[in-house]
Amino acid sequence: MRLLTNPMNGFKYAIEGVVHVFRTQRHMRFHFLTLVLVLVVSLVFKLTREEVIILLFTISLVLTAEMFNTAIEAVVDLVTQTYHPLAKFAKDIAAGAVLITTINALAVGFLLFPGGDRLKMVGSTIGMHSPDWPTIMIVTFLLLAVMITMWKVAGGKGKLLKGGIVSGHSAIGFFLATTIMFMSRKVSVGIMAFLLAVLIAQSRVEGGIHTLREVIAGALLATGIACVVYTVLSPVFPMK
């Protein structure tokens, strides 16, 4: 049993569980990739805040079911390594739960996109209506977080919250700086925001947590995603 002497240990162990499932389960990696694609599509189709909430809840159900499936398989394998009908039923039922949540996710996706005539709506409203900027910003941040997580875990270097082949702190700093630049529409404010982001990146290098290449990778990834979303996929901050 793990002793939770530090309140943050519970959070750390939970992160370790997510990382383990991602590294060991091919289906989980596929779900994460699907999550990236779904978030991009939600930006392209300019979903409303309510639709994004439904979409995120549906995705969370699939990921949670996959993690429970992995946990049940691990417990069954711990109890017995030989064939037993009850062990088979336990694994089959857990896999069935994943199947049900996946079918539900497909149904939700169909109702939100093709079933809801979203293609026609997008074709007739591009450039005419501005989407809800808090929703766009949150979805973009989630997209960035998922991509950083996949990159860090796939790299197999360092930990998810510290180290790794890309700097998450640097990415968050430059994402916020880019967002501030688009929101303010002022060069001076944008320069100050990016200078603060550079200070964050520099602290990661000076602390020996990341190399210069890793903080640059995080900065480019975050800035690139933010610029593409805000100017191409869902131009929520039209520049004057």
For residues 71 and 95, is the Cβ–Cβ distance under 8 A?
no
215: Cβ–Cβ under 8 A, 6 or more apart, which residues? 167, 170, 201, 202, 204, 205
Among 173, 52, 227, 225, residue whose Cα is nearest residue 235: 227
Question: Other C-beta atoms within 10 Å of 128: how many?
Answer: 6
Identified catalytic residue from 16, 66, 206, 214: 66
Tokens of 170: 């640097």
DSSP 208: T
Give the ranges where 156-211 is alpha helix by DSSP (H): 168-184, 187-206
Give the whole-angstrom CA distance, residue 144 versus residue 218. 10
Residue with tokens 């309510």: 50
For helices 26-44 and 49-79, what crossing angle results, to 10°? 180
> Is 66 designated active site?
yes
Q: Residue 175 is which amino acid? A: F
Catalytically annotated residues: 66
